[in-house]
A = this chain, B = another copy of it.
Amino acid sequence: MDKKPVIAPKGRLQPRVKIEDVARKANVSPATVSRVLNHPDIVRPELRDRVMRHINDLAYTRDSAARALKSGRMRTVGVIVPTLALGIFAEGVEALQNRLSESGYTLFIANSQYDQRRELQELQSLIERGIDGIVLVGASHGRELRSLIEQASVPVITTYVAKAGGGIPAIGIDNESATREMTEYLLRLGHVRFGAIANVVAASNDRSRARLEGIQRALSDAGLPLKPTQIVKADYSLAQGRSALRQLLTDHPDTTAVICTTDTLAIGAMAEARKMGLAVPATLSITGFDDVELAAQMDPPLTTVSVPAAEIGRGAADYLINAIAGSPVPRSVVLPYRLVMRSSSAPPRSSARPARRGRNRDH
């Protein structure tokens, strides 16, 4: 009664259909079957159809290991993101996968939890798997990682940043410039007393660090440099946004504008502001970064910076596909971000100097 198929202990139970089986059935050589599959145009149509029928009949699929061995190409790309919990990374990965899939590539995924050591391990494992290309996130990558990539001579691109060191090409936005612009916008509205909430705790989060620098630079240039207590460092979470705002307003009750380096922090800050009875934007302007789906639905809708995550993912895919094929590729791609002015920001109630025009609220 050996009816129930035992789970194959070593090799497969029903020996896989091989190219030779198809060849025999179709009365041709394995070479011809291979040609039908790989270069259909060089096989006589009627023969091609006949072989095709048998391929379908037997439900034959090529063994990718054998294929990869012979061709040296795995048709596989790997991506290492800090985490998938952030919608912005998930969106990028999804776009990346979709574009790769269209070109017959399959995507390995790994996550580093913002830990450079883990990133290195995962990369090692991916390289051993013979990936043809690798997508990273951010600009902070250790020397070891770079030399590993170089040694493996695998095309690489890093994402979500405008440039990265070590000769690694990048595709993304200029984070510093984005917050600089955002800050300048708030300055133009008439704000003078700022606070910043930044998730710069994780060592490898260069993006948020760049964003914080953008804020600082703009304010320094305006002659209003931030004091350390005007900057609250946080981890990434909504709850941290809440506590950060509370702390900020404890130290500086007269703050009129709070710039956050992520929407999550900003949303947390807004929730806390509401709880503290502060009207947004009347008494407090709050801005975020990322433009997550929820940002537009907040009450009031959140002023933020929109990051073209899907475009980044697609761009990274295209870059690698070209690089793998040996086509020329750009050094780096800087994508435009978009400042999205919504109603969580407005001129301060009692502006030091009156806003330039009467109803210059937003937009």
Q: Name the distance in Å between A171's Cβ and chain B's nearest Cβ.
A: 17
- For A302, the chain B residues whose CB sits under 8 A away are none
* 24 sampled A-B residue pairs with Cβ under 8 A: A7-B155, A7-B323, A9-B326, A12-B72, A14-B153, A63-B130, A64-B129, A64-B130, A84-B90, A84-B91, A84-B93, A84-B94, A85-B87, A94-B111, A104-B125, A106-B108, A106-B110, A106-B126, A106-B129, A238-B293, A238-B297, A239-B297, A271-B299, A275-B299
| Chain A contacts to B: CB under 8 angstroms | 5, 7-14, 59, 61-66, 68-69, 72, 74, 76, 83-85, 87, 90-91, 93-94, 97-98, 101, 104, 106-111, 122, 124-130, 151, 153, 155, 237-239, 242, 264, 267-268, 271, 274-275, 293-294, 297, 299, 323, 326
A90 to B68, CA, bound (A): 30
Closest to A79 in B: B109
**Provided the pairs A90-B90, A107-B110 are in contact, do residues A65 and B65 lie with their beta carbons within 8 angstroms?**
yes
B274 touches A299 (CB 8 A): yes
A64 to B129, CA, bound (A): 5
B72 touches A101 (CB 8 A): no
Closest to A9 in B: B326
Closest to A86 in B: B90
Q: Name the distance in Å between A180's Cβ and chain B's nearest Cβ.
A: 29
B97 touches A110 (CB 8 A): yes
